[in-house]
Amino acid sequence: MARRLKKLLVANRGEIALRIIRSARVFGLKTVAVYSAADATSAHVGAADEAILIGPAEAAKSYLNIAAIVAAAKQFGADAIHPGYGFLSERPEFAQATADAQIVFVGPRPEVMAALGDKVAARRIAVAAGVPVVPGIETAEISAAREFAALVGYPILIKAAAGGGGRGMRVVAEASQLETALEAAAREATAAFGDGRIFIEKYLAHPRHIEIQILGDDHGNVVALGERDCSIQRRHQKIIEESPAPGLSAEMRAKMIDAALKLARAAGYTNAGTAEFLVESDNFYFLEVNARLQVEHPVTEMRFGCDLVCEQLRIASGGKVDEPAAPRGAAIECRINAEDPEHDFRPATGTVLHLRVPGGPGVRFDSHLTSGAEVTPWYDGLLGKLICYGADREEARGRLVNALGEFSLLGVTNNAAYLRDIIASDQFRDAKLSTHFIDSFFSGWRIGGPEIDAAIVAALITAGDPQAETGALPQNNNQRRSPWDGLGNFELWGSRK
């Protein structure tokens, strides 16, 4: 049934909140932003038509506060809530509270979210739909775990049944590690999700991680918008995603899309979601469903010429999904995070003192950053997503290498140089992709001289050094002078303590 939506509350922050607000404006909706005390000056707050403080910096008291968010929607007369990704986006209780308040939730129904958000229940749906799964068992009992490991062989993978994002996940290489890993995984799962159930699977040696974007409506229609390869991960967190998946045969692609559609229909899925698979050799296995908009959705948008947020809003308004246009070209995205790749990727904070955003044909930068913005320790460290499109993968790759070279951010340590080296590498060019790519090729990465020189030039410009505007750099180490001489309490990748 068609619904005329007028005002959308965005229950998120940062890059994705700003992204949703922009699309909602195109869709013709007024918008309400929610923000914590730490985000009072964030870009998404100023971009919305209205905004409301919902709590202190702690996420549990603000962006995870269901009652406060629903109350804010009622107060401002919002007739729909978009959860974005992260925070409450996959919490069935949030979708249910929204529905109970007679507000449209821009996402799947709570019962569908509950079923697919549980790895064990989602696996049962997949098996019933005829979708291949990795051999596995739900158990935290050491005796049952030992029997399963003896049957399929080591290594095995321990996962939290109720969650994702790598939390509660352990790879067990031999029997002597099993009991300790089971206990640790259960503790972490309980702390992260309030649910200590454990699922154990056969560990695939060098799989690729490939996902299918789906859209479903309330009229029983489900469509797929191609695939994304998300194999390049660090600690089970995606950092580079691309579409189409290089080297994937047309036959395998068709089979995976068919499996994703079967799964979506079996679950009664509506709105945007992603069916994720592990691919090894000529086989693929169901992994999980992300019942929300994915961080990496822009690569699909660039290939299919669509706006997935507007599609979500159209579905939430009672509209039907259409068969997508034929995809064109290739797109690659990388996640620029506030972290230090040279020091075990420790999280970074600080003030954005200088920001240079790349441009040119096929270049897109999704971010909430502005000069002077504060990056705090309270939330996820995603600073922005740099996405490049090309007629083919090599053109998209070349544009992304150049765009990362143009990107400059001072005041907050980030992984842009690390990402550029990965994408410029022979291994990435040759698509030697697997979930072990980072461990295999980039485990000992260190920043190179050109990146340091570029940062020094930017720092000198920030300090007002006229020589830096010409790009003149010292030719050897003896000629180098420190740019920090004129910067006071400042360091190249953060604030001096």
What positions carry a catalytic annotation? 292
Q: Return d(Cα 116, Cα 137) in angstroms, integer.
A: 17
Strand 80-82: give its sheet, edge to edge: 50-55, 30-36, 7-10, 80-82, 104-105
Backbone φ and ψ of 293, nearest 5°: -75, 135
Q: Return d(Cα 341, Cα 417) in angstroms, integer.
A: 9
Q: Return d(Cα 29, Cα 264) in angstroms, integer.
A: 28
Indicate left, alpha or beta for 329 from its phi (over 0: left) and psi (-120 to 50: alpha).
Answer: left
Helices and strands in the chain: count of H runs, count of E runs: 16, 23
Please name the residue ranges forming H helices in 225-289: 250-267
Of 363, 485, 341, 327, the C-alpha closest to 422 is 341
* Length in residues, the chain: 497
Q: Return d(Cα 242, Cα 228) in angstroms, integer.
A: 5
What six digits make up the tokens of 390?
């090309």
Euclidean distance between the first and the last CA atom of the chain, given in angstroms as a whole number: 58
Q: What's 116-176 look like in SS3?
A: HHCHHHHHHHHHHCCCCECCEEECCCHHHHHHHHHHHCCCEEEEECCCCCCCCCEEECCHH
